[in-house]
């Protein structure tokens, strides 16, 4: 998880409990809602930029799964795989 080991997560949790105490669930909900809203806004912005690029005649850069799939397909096309020839039967 984010390159953190179990000890670091425990230390961060202990510090959070010391700082926020009984308000920790409320703070967690607020942080979760904020992160969700940021993701929605980021997705909206990326979508608007893709539409603007399409209107201007530029093709938008693929993102997410489609970008990984396209990269994997192009890598697979460039990589030569050995052929398996079964031994001659008697």
Residue 83: inside a domain: no
Residue 41: inside a domain: yes
Residue 79, pLDDT above cutoff 70:
no
Mean pLDDT of 21-47: 92
Residue 17: inside a domain: no
Residue 17 · residue 24 · CB < 8 Å? yes
Total of domains in the chain:
1
Residue 53: inside a domain: yes
Domain that holds residue 45: 29-68
Mean pLDDT of 38-56: 87
Residue 46: inside a domain: yes
Number of residues written out for the chain: 90
Residue 75: inside a domain: no
Residue 19: inside a domain: no
CA distances from 38 to 8, 48, 51, 80, 84 (A): 26, 15, 20, 43, 50
Within a 10 A sphere around the Cβ of 52, how many other Cβ atoms?
Answer: 11
Residue 1: inside a domain: no
Residue 70, pLDDT above cutoff 70:
no
Mean pLDDT of 15-29: 90
Residue 1, pLDDT above cutoff 60:
no
CA distances from 28 to 17, 19, 60, 73, 77 (A): 11, 13, 36, 40, 46
């Amino acid at each position: 998880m984010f390159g953190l080991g179990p000890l670091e997560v425990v230390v961060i949790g202990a510090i959070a409990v010391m700082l926020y105490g009984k308000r920790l669930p409320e703070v967690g909900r607020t942080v979760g809602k904020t992160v969700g809203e940021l993701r929605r806004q980021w997705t909206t912005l990326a979508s608007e930029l893709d539409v603007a690029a399409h209107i201007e005649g530029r093709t938008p850069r693929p993102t997410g799964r489609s970008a990984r799939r396209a990269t994997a397909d192009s890598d697979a096309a460039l990589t030569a795989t050995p052929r398996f020839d079964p031994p001659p039967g008697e």
